[in-house]
């Protein structure tokens, strides 16, 4: 996990803030779905089950991240269609959220299905590219590169 999603020591002083945020915002929903899909795949002991679910969620999230070619982004400006082509997904499977003043990409919201085979991009049921013009800029924020040189976080 350190190679593809390094801890970030940003304003909060907690280098694991991003991991905790991702688990609290997305992982808990993921775990509820996984427990409904395959309850017998996880321990009945709460702490063991929670650890198993966190591990599976973070591994599935990293696999999605790796499949989307987000490690190295060759250009700093894309149309939504060009960015979808670069990522290798349908341009209806994500929508960008941009800074209102600058048009800079702040967040990339990817619509996914969750199953025993992991997290896969799917067509979004609603699309709203918030504050993004026909094209948007990608600015690489503060990030820490792993020893393998493959990790980057886009802000």
Residue 107: inside a domain, yes or no?
Answer: yes
Provide the number of structural domains found in the chain.
Answer: 2
**Residue 57 and residue 103 in one domain:** no
**Residue 45 and residue 115 in one domain:** no
Range of the domain at 147: 72-155
Inter-residue contact 133 to 145 (CB < 8 Å): no
**Residue 154 and residue 82 in one domain:** yes
Q: Give mean pLDDT, residues 48-65.
A: 87
Q: How confident is the model at residue 145 (pLDDT cuts 50, 70, 90)?
A: very low
**Residue 122 and residue 151 in one domain:** yes
Residue 100: inside a domain, yes or no?
Answer: yes
Q: What is the per-residue pLDDT across 114-125, written as a single tens digit (0 to 9) for each?
A: 888 889 988 887
**The domain boundary residue, chosen from 42, 67, 92:** 67
Higher per-residue confidence, 7 vs 95: 95
Q: Give mean pLDDT, residues 42-48.
A: 83
For residues 51, 29, 97 and 15, what is the CA-based torsion angle, rounded to 10 degrees?
Answer: -20
Q: Which two tokens stand for residue 41?
A: 């795949």
How many other CB atoms are found less than 10 A from the CB of residue 126? 6
Q: How confident is the model at residue 151 (pLDDT cuts 50, 70, 90)?
A: very low
Burial 71-109 (b: 16+ CB within 10 A, else e): eebeeeebebeebbeebebebebbbbbbbeeebbbbebe
Q: Which two tokens stand for residue 46?
A: 């709460």
Q: What is the pTM of this model?
A: 0.69
Cα 110 from Cα 103, distance rounded (Å): 19
């Amino acid at each position: 996990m350190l190679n593809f999603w390094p801890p970030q020591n940003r304003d909060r002083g907690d280098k694991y803030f991003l991991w905790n945020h991702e688990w609290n915002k997305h992982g808990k929903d993921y775990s509820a779905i996984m427990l409904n899909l395959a309850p017998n795949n996880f321990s009945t002991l709460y702490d063991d089950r929670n650890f198993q679910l966190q591990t599976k969620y973070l591994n599935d999230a990293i696999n999605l991240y790796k499949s989307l070619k987000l490690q190295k982004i060759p250009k700093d400006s894309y149309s939504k269609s060009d960015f979808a082509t670069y990522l290798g997904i349908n341009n209806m499977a994500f929508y960008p959220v941009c800074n209102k003043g600058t048009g800079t990409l702040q967040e990339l919201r990817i619509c996914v299905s969750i199953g025993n085979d992991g997290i896969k991009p799917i067509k979004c049921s609603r699309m709203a590219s918030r504050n993004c013009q026909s094209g948007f800029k990608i600015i690489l924020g503060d990030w820490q590169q792993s020893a393998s040189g493959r990790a980057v976080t886009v802000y």
